[in-house]
C-alpha cells in the first residue's frame, strides 16, 4: 500500500527498503512523514536480522524496541533504508539502520532490538502482553 520495495539479495547481507516519495508519503509540511521513515527503518532492520539465519529474509523477527533519530527532511525523490547487525546472539539481535535520500543526505537513523521467532511458532498479540 505504501509502495516500497524490499531488497534482501545483496552480497553484504544487509536488507534495503526503497521508496520513491510522492504526496501520499508527506506530512502537512510537505516532507517525508516520520511514521513512514520509521516503517522503512524498522522493515530494513528486521529483514537484515532475518538474513542472519535465512538467505530469503523470511525468518520472522519481532521488533522488541526501536529508537529513531530524525536528522533531516526528505522532500522529493527516493530514499533507501539499509540495516546492519551490530551485535546480539541466537535469539536477540541489535540492528542499526540508516535512511538516506538519493542525493546522499542522511534523513534518519535507528537502532533496535529484534527477537527471533522460533520456527513453527505463531505470534499473536496475546503472546506478547
Can you give the residue ranges of every domain in the chain?
A: 5-121
| pLDDT tops 70 at residue 78 | yes
- Within 13 A of 113's CA, how many CA atoms are on the CB side? 7
**Using a CB cutoff of 8 Å and minimum separation of 24, what contacts does 86-92 make?**
86/111, 88/113, 88/114, 90/116, 91/115, 91/116, 92/64, 92/116
Q: Does domain 5-121 have CATH number 3.10.129.10?
A: yes
Q: Is 32 helix (H, G, I), strand (E, B) or coil?
A: strand
Segment 77-81 shows an average pLDDT of 96
Whole-model pTM over 0.95 = no
Segment 49-67 shows an average pLDDT of 89
Q: Which residue has the cell 516520520?
A: 34
DSSP 126: G
Confidence of residue 121 (pLDDT cuts 50, 70, 90): low
Q: Is 48 helix (H, G, I), strand (E, B) or coil?
A: helix
| pLDDT tops 80 at residue 125 | no
Amino acid at each position: 500500500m505504501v509502495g516500497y520495495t524490499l531488497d534482501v539479495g545483496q552480497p553484504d547481507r544487509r536488507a534495503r527498503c526503497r521508496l520513491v516519495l510522492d504526496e501520499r508519503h508527506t506530512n502537512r509540511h510537505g516532507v517525508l512523514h516520520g511514521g513512514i521513515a520509521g516503517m522503512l527503518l524498522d522493515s530494513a532492520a528486521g529483514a537484515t536480522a532475518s538474513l542472519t539465519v535465512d538467505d530469503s529474509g523470511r525468518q520472522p523477527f519481532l521488533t522488541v524496541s526501536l529508537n529513531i533519530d530524525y536528522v533531516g527532511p526528505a522532500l522529493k525523490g527516493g530514499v533507501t533504508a539499509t540495516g546492519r547487525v551490530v551485535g546480539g546472539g541466537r535469539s536477540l539481535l541489535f540492528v542499526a539502520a540508516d535512511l538516506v535520500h538519493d542525493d546522499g543526505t542522511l534523513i534518519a537513523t535507528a537502532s533496535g532490538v529484534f527477537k527471533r521467532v522460533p520456527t513453527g511458532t505463531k505470534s499473536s498479540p496475546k503472546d506478547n502482553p
